[in-house]
A and B are shown apart, each in its own frame.
Chain A
Amino acid sequence: MSASDPSGRWKAGSTAAALVCAAALVGLGGWAVSRPDDAAGEGFSALATETTAPPSPTLTGTDPTPSARATARPADPQAVRQDATVPPSRLRIPDLEVDATVRPVGVQPDGAMVIPAAPTRVGWYRYGSAPTDPEGHTVIAGHVATIEDGPGALAPLVEAEEGMVVEVVDGDGTVHRYEVRGRERISKKRLPTDEIFARDGDPLLVLVTCGGEYIPELGAHRDNIVVTAEPVG
């Protein structure tokens, strides 16, 4: 049977199409397998080992001394003012092509953390720790996507894996390096806010965005994605 035989051409075409179909199916399978799991590395456990006791008042940051003698300090308003913390100004995760401007943020009227509206900007919780603090969590959060502007700077967070390098740069140029220890997806209703926003314990970096199923009635995703990273170097 020669190539000019009409049935031969149709058969060749059919075989080629079948091969294309098979290739497409293999590609689909590869894509499905490459989807990130719900959790990576240690998941939440780096957070869970922190102290979960409710904060107890510590007078001027020192523990009460058990001896009878006390020390006294000047108390005029100027003397007690604390030096301002150096806030972070840039967040980079090279493996995920994350490179975002960081802004100090506070609390919304409803008590939730403020998230900068522009998706290229992420917020650092100003009342928590900064990378220069020896204790407590530096919390940085950003939109995964907004209606106006599409995907956010932290959208790739869902693919963070243990060992990935994270860099936080201060306004004065100091670079703080961290390594990812875990990623976990958790329902927003069960978000362990006291652990995430802890102000004592190990000086971890905690990155938060949204993920999971999108709920159109609420205009929000059901879950948060939480990545914890430890300082290195």
Chain B
Amino acid sequence: MRRVIAVSAAAAAAALPFALASPASAADDASVVVVHGVPDLTVDVYGSADDEYSSEELLLEDFEPGTITDPVALPGGTYNLAVFPAGDDPAGDPAIEANDVDVPAGANISVVAHLDESGTPTLTPFVNDTAPTAAGEGRLVVRHTAAAPAVDVLAGGEPVFTGLTNPNEESADLPAGTVSAAVALAGTTDPVIGPADVDVQEGAATIVYAWGSAEDGNLALAVQTIDGLHSSPSGVPSGTAEVPGDTMPVALAGVALAAALAAGLMGLRARRVRA
């Protein structure tokens, strides 16, 4: 059964088609990935300036649940997105539709197709934080995009984010390393997802999506990584002591001085003795 949801936003501004990014505005293009977090539904994704979708406006074909696209460059603007069961005629009714999705110029965005808390498919755009991380750290972001009540996120068995609800996110910059991540219903520690090893990469944002349906027993994690956020170390403090001095010049200077003195004294003595 298809359920059509229209996610409306602010009044429509000029909506641009999913055309090739024009070179003049390439620097301002937004970078967009699409996350498929709706279980059991292989889909085609279309984007359009209006709410009619044609085959030229196909963005993604045979998109499987639990997969994430490579980034696509899009000029900033607002877009209408529609998700159809794979192979369906885009003239028909979409499974999920989102109108006036705002894609700000230069932004880094993840558009997530997922179930809301009550299990209805929906589309949520998340703006990704690409601020630099400190040297040696990575950014862990967790997004609740599952049909499930509020959850706590555990790292190594300890809650790091609590009371996270659909469709929200929490994030923290952490020392880089592998985290044993799990998701539990809020206030509990029994995992409903995981634990699974998640690499918090240095200099990157590691974005973990909780997706699926608690009721259907198919809750799972999906991971998106954004590289290039690293900072350099502040310096190289390589030397706590003075380098032991070269003794040769001192020795040579001493020899020269002693020899000069000896030469002078012996010369004087030679003159005295001759007399």
Q: Which residues of B contact A (CB under 8 A)?
A: 18-21, 26, 29, 31, 33-36, 47, 57-61, 63-64, 66-73, 108, 128, 130, 132, 134-136, 176, 181, 196-199, 201-203, 205, 208-209, 220-230, 232-244, 246, 248-249, 252-253, 255-257, 259-260, 262-267, 269-271, 273-274
Whether A73 lies near B67 (C-beta < 8 A) is yes
3 nearest interchain CB pairs? A210-B239, A107-B136, A10-B270
Tell me how far the C-beta of B143 lies from the nearest C-beta in chain A, rounded to whole angstroms: 12
Alpha-carbon gap, A75 to B67, bound state (A): 5
Please state if B222 and A70 are interface contacts (CB–CB under 8 Å).
no
Choose one: B31, B239, B265; the contact of A221 (CB below 8 Å). B239
Contacts A28-B252, A70-B59, A145-B241: A62 and B71 contacting too (C-beta < 8 A)?
Answer: yes
Which of A72, A110, A154 contacts B67, CB < 8 Å?
A72
Q: How far is the CA of A84 from the CA of B197 in the complex (A)?
A: 14
The answer to whether B66 touches A10, judged by C-beta atoms less than 8 angstroms apart, is no
Interface hits, A115-171 → B, CB 8 Å: 115, 125, 127, 141-147, 150-152, 154-155
> Nearest Cβ in chain B — how far from A216, in angstroms?
8
- Nearest-Cβ distance from residue A150 to partner chain B, whole angstroms: 6
Chain B residues whose C-beta falls within 8 Å of the C-beta of A72 in the assembled complex: 34, 36, 60, 63-64, 67-70
Closest to B225 in A: A60
A13 to B262, CA, bound (A): 8
**Complex Cα–Cα for A25 and B254 (A):** 10
B249 to chain A: closest residue by CB: A31
With contacts A77-B198, A194-B232, A219-B240 taken as known, whether A68 is within 8 angstroms of B249 at the C-beta atoms is no
Contacts A10-B273, A13-B266, A107-B135: A224 and B236 contacting too (C-beta < 8 A)? yes
Give the interface size bracket for A toward B.
35 or more
A233 at interface by CB-CB < 8 Å: no
15 A-B residue pairings within 8 Å (CB atoms): A14-B265, A55-B229, A60-B71, A68-B47, A69-B58, A77-B181, A112-B235, A113-B237, A127-B136, A143-B240, A145-B242, A147-B240, A147-B241, A214-B242, A220-B239
Q: Does A173 contact B (CB under 8 A)?
A: no
Q: How far is the CA of A17 from the CA of B264 in the complex (A)?
A: 9
Given A31-B252, A75-B224, the answer on whether A188 and B242 have CB atoms closer than 8 Å is no
Task: Give Cα A114 to B31, complex, Å.
Answer: 35
- Chain A residues near B257 (CB, 8 Å)? 21
Interface residues of A in 1-23 (CB under 8 A from B): 6-11, 13-15, 17-18, 20-21
Q: Within the complex, what minimum Cβ distance (angstroms) separates B216 from chain A?
A: 17
| Inter-subunit contact A14/B238 (CB<8 Å) | no
Complex: A57 Cα to B26 Cα, angstroms: 15
> What's the least CB distance linking A130 to chain B, in Å?
14
Question: How distant is the Cα of A63 from the Cα of B59 in the complex, in angstroms?
Answer: 17
Shortest distance between the CB of A199 and any CB in chain B (Å): 7
Is B228 a contact partner of A57 (Cβ separation < 8 A)? Answer: yes
The residues of B that contact A18 with a CB separation of less than 8 Å are 259-260, 263
Known: A76-B66, A209-B239. A7 touches B134 (CB 8 A): no
Residue of B33, B70, B235, B236 with most partner-chain A CB within 10 A: B236
Instruction: Tell me whether A6 and B229 are in contact in the complex, defined as CB-CB below 8 angstroms, given that A60-B70, A107-B135, A127-B135 are known contacts.
Output: no
Are A17 and B233 touching (Cβ within 8 A)? no
Verify if A82 is at the interface (C-beta below 8 Å from B).
yes
- Interface core residue of B64, B202, B241 (most chain A CB under 10 Å): B241
Q: A78 near B: Cβ within 8 Å?
A: yes
Whether the pair A17, B199 counts as a contact (CB closer than 8 A) is: no
